[in-house]
Structure 1
Amino acid sequence: MSAVIYWFRNDLRLLDNPAFLLACRESSQVLPVFCHDPGDRALTHWGFERVGAHRRTFVAATLADLGAQLTARGSALIELAGRPEDVLSTLARDLGITRIVCEAIAAPDEQDAVQALRAAGLTVDTVWQSSLLDPDALPFSARQLPDMFTLFRQAIEKANVAPPAPMDFPETIPPLPVWIAPLSHRHDAMPPSPPDVDARTSFPYQLAACAGGTTAALAHLHQYMDRKLAHTYKDTRNGLTGLDYSSKFSPWLATGALSARTINAALEQFENDFGANDSTYWLWFELMWRDYFRFLHLKYGRKLYRYHGLAEVGSARPVHDAALFARWCRGVTGEPIVDAGMRELAATGYLSNRLRQIVASYLIHDLDGDWRAGAAWFESQLVDFDVYSNQGNWLYLAGRGTDPRGGRRFNPQKQARDYDADGAYRALWETV
């Protein structure tokens, strides 16, 4: 066996990480690496940083936790600054390593980085591991994935497809290779200073209880089940504010600090101990939506990133009014429920699922804005940004995905009456 570089991407965990376990099993030396891509701080086409302060802070805490877990097992996390295709190629050459192992991510930028490494002469073995269900266990191939979520879910339930059990922590981690990489590539910058905690936030990621990393994730998962909140999820999931209205699993899922299979195993144990109900089913239902957006990427790939998405090629190109878009981002559109949501997002890096739909719909259907700019803003701001779910949801609302209804508009006044009847949420976020 030879030495291998393990490239951590959106799988920042040791618990239930099949790709990392593969690297450990098949190699005599393993070098765990994370790359800080300067493109994350570069301005997008729309004029703002691709990754904002909230997500950078959450990822930094996640990496600190991952590094501590590796150190406790006799290894270490090497953080490098630079484009992965550049710094990993240099690192591999300096150490005489020819193989990289990493998780598979079916999104264009992430696939391009892998292809560039292969073009540089490296063997890159990718392992699909971000979904709950194994794509090979589905009752159809990726190309035959139904274009309606309901048909997908029904087929899964009819075939009784069960997820694999989560894997444990690695028993042993092979030693590190001799470290001789150029110091110019080391990421030695201090972690970003977290923005102050806003007392109104529904996810205070700056606090230990909600910090990034597997340690906080498992503590939260166990507390959620111990408090039996899984029995009330369906009744509270459309709430707009508070710590307990939703599961809050998404930030740890997004960084990969917690796997969907670990959550599902805890949910199954909860149902065995306390019984299943509509709410525990609904948690499974949401994990199925998460899987569906992933499998759509396996079916359609880069087509999901065209301005017209999966719609007809002749579909009108979305309009981008920079001034209107800036007002939407700042929460000064004049629509109170939308403005409240956008202020919360900017101040905290988090927003309820209901409000995400409301504010996204408003940009697309009321402001006639470019859905791609909105998707990019969410990518920049959300601590739980997930490339699959973000792209899938924006396409869904814009009518450029697989939804047969051709788009979803949420009437903001009706949404305010239904979910903020007393105006408490709007009053809470009336100002930044």
Structure 2
Amino acid sequence: MTSVFYWFRNDLRLKDNPAFLQACKSADHLLPVYVHQPSLEQDTAWGFPRIGEHRQAFLEQSLQELRSQLRDLGSDLYEVAGDVVDVFETLKAQTQADLIYCEQIQAPEELEQVALLSSAGFKVNPVWQSSMLDVQSLPFPLEGMPDVFTQFRQQVEKKGLRFASPVDAPKIIPPLPAIEMPSIQALDAIHLSSTSKFQGGVQSAQTHIEQYFERRLPDTYKQTRNELIGMDYSSKFSPWLAQGCRSAGSIAKQLSDYEICYGANDGTYWLWFELLWRDYFRFLHFKYGKRLYHSKGLSKVPSNQFDSENFFKWSSGNTGQSLIDAGMRELKKTGYLSNRMRQIVASYWIYDMKGDWQAGAAWFEYQLVDYDVYSNQGNWLYIAGKGTDPRGGRPFNVAKQTQDHDLNGIYRQIWLA
């Protein structure tokens, strides 16, 4: 009798989860596992943890829904806090299982976890599944992909690639091995409160995405995407995508169905275009790996020095620059910030305050409800001129941005009140 583990990472769903489907097909007994890593709650070099209240609460809600879905199919979720290798070695002693299926995450820390499990004697089967496009269908090897996004996009479009066809959820999950399930009440992550406007979980993702399409909001996406206030100016799919409550491929498929029904336009194209940016930042990790996490990034230019006093002013929204302060206060209060404001506050930190881009990226990791390792790193490298952008950095003129995006001062009024 084959017992296997399925290790949920950033893929907290059953539908369009090829790795989970493979695990179900290969096992007589299957134990779904989620490991909370205490290291994320320890202070970084900059003096704050890596996961804050907004993402913690969203994650808790997402895990509760995942557990409920698993139980509906006669399974359950083994949710525990601890070091990943220690957790699986404890489980191996109880089940004699040593095969782990999981989502592949192509970032240094996550790759290191898989390497440590392999070194400890586990057979780990990571499956790439977090992109909209199927990597096998790309017109270039990932190690030789175009550096510049425009060239990447042109080659993808020339081949007519749109999305990988989503797979169904398993109809049957193999029974659990004989093991005592931990009490989830024992976990520190339980009963967190957050002032975020987002609710975690597959059902919440479904509800939000359905209403977005039903109200025909994709049609106006390109026109409104740089606005700062409200829920409707952008899709707000990112929190559910980041935790894997919904797959990028399934959203792209829904967008394609929408275009068949209502016709394609600039808005629908731009929504797909943004999902393609998300893929691009993922795929760059196959080409450059750890270099994307060096202080210099892919450049030869040293980064700015870290200044704790300036950092406090920036991170707490006390720089004296009203648009920046409004943005940083919104981020801290809600765990969310529009894409436009993310670029503006990042640019201000790097170019006006001469701040260390890595400290800024770490603060976003701590605060954002929709933190995604690839997109966060990619966007900060892009603004700082440490990535593949041929322009070598993106400084924003705050006065111009204020005039363009908050001329009447309503956004600043909301967050500086």
Normalising by structure 2, we get a TM-score of 0.98
- Aligned letter for 1:192? H
Aligned match of 1:100: 100
The answer for the alignment partner of 1:256 in structure 2 is 244
Q: CA deviation at 1:92?
A: 1.7
**Are 1:6 and 2:6 counterparts?**
yes
Moved runs in structure 1, 4+ residues, more than 3 A?
A: 183-190
Query: Secondary structure of the equivalent of 1:429?
Result: helix
Name which of 161, 176, 197 aligns with 1:204.
197
**Aligned-partner Cα distance in 1 for 2:221–2:373:** 25
Is the 8 Å Cα contact of residues 95 and 180 (structure 1) preserved in structure 2?
no
C-alpha distance in structure 2 between counterparts of 1:8 and 1:186, whole Å? 19
1:91-240 residue pairs with structure 2 within 5 A? 91-180=91-180, 187-189=186-188, 191-195=190-194, 197=195, 204-205=197-198, 211-240=199-228
Cα deviation 1:50-100 (Å, max 9, x = unaligned): 101111001000001101100111000110110112211221232100100
Cα separation, partners in 2 of 1:63 and 1:185, compared to 1, 3 Å? closer
In structure 2, list runs of 5 or more residues that go unmatched: none
Cα shift at 1:395: 0.3
How much has 1:389 moved relative to structure 2?
0.2
Offset of residue 265 of structure 1: 1.1
Aligned equivalent of 1:341, options 327, 336, 339 = 327
Answering whether residue 273 of structure 2 is matched by residue 270 of structure 1, we say no
Q: Is the Cα contact below 8 Å between 1:81 and 1:187 reproduced in 2?
A: no
Instruction: Report how far residue 180 of structure 1 moved.
Output: 4.6
**Deviation string, structure 1 residues 260-314 (Cα, Å, up to 9, x no partner):** 01101110111111111000000010010000000000111111000000012xx
Residue type of the partner of 1:29? H
**SS state of the match for residue 140, structure 1?**
coil
Matched, 1:404 2:390: yes
Aligned-residue offset at 1:189? 4.0
Who is 2:48 aligned against?
A: 48
Letter of the aligned partner of 2:373 in structure 1?
A: V
Matched position secondary structure for 1:75: coil
How many residues matched?
417
- Distance (Å, rounded) in 2 between the aligned partners of 1:310 and 1:17: 33
Alignment of 1:51-70 (within 5 A): 51-70=51-70
Separation (CA, whole Å) in 2 of partners of 1:163 and 1:185: 37
Q: Cα RMSD between the aligned structures?
A: 1.4
Of residues 307, 311, 314 in structure 2, which corresponds to 1:328?
Answer: 314
The question of whether the paired residues in 2 share the 8 Å contact of 1:21 and 1:170 is answered with yes
2:415 maps to 1:429? yes
CA contact (8 A) 1:94 1:180 kept: no
Q: Secondary structure at the match of 1:32?
A: strand
Matches within 5 A, 1:290-305: 290-305=278-293
SS of the counterpart of 1:153?
A: helix
**Aligned partner letter, 1:108:** P
When structure 1 is superposed on structure 2, of 77-86 and 149-158 the one drifting more is 77-86
Percent of matched pairs sharing the same residue: 53
Counterpart-to-counterpart distance in 1, 2:2 and 2:209:
37
* Change in 2 beyond 3 A, CA 1:381/1:192: farther
Aligned partner of 1:306 in structure 2 is 294
What secondary structure does 1:192 align onto?
Answer: coil
Q: Distance in 1 between matches of 2:354 and 2:13?
A: 40
- Which digits, 9 at most, give the CA deviation of each residue in 1:243-263, with x for residues without a partner? 111000000000000000110
Deviation at 1:317, TM superposition (A): 3.4
Distance 1:275 1:412, change over 3 A: same
Deviation of residue 185 (structure 1)? 11
The DSSP-based 3-state class of the residue aligned with 2:416 is coil
TM-score, normalising length from structure 1? 0.94
Q: Distance in 2 between matches of 1:342 and 1:82?
A: 32
1:219 CA drift (Å): 1.2
SS at match of 1:110: helix
Q: Secondary structure at the match of 2:91?
A: helix
Inter-partner Cα distance in structure 2 for 1:185 and 1:353: 35
- The answer to whether 1:386 aligns with 2:379 is no
For the 8 Å contact 1:307–1:318, the answer to whether it is kept is: no
Q: Once structures 1 and 2 are overlaid, which stretch shifts more, 135-144 or 82-91?
A: 82-91
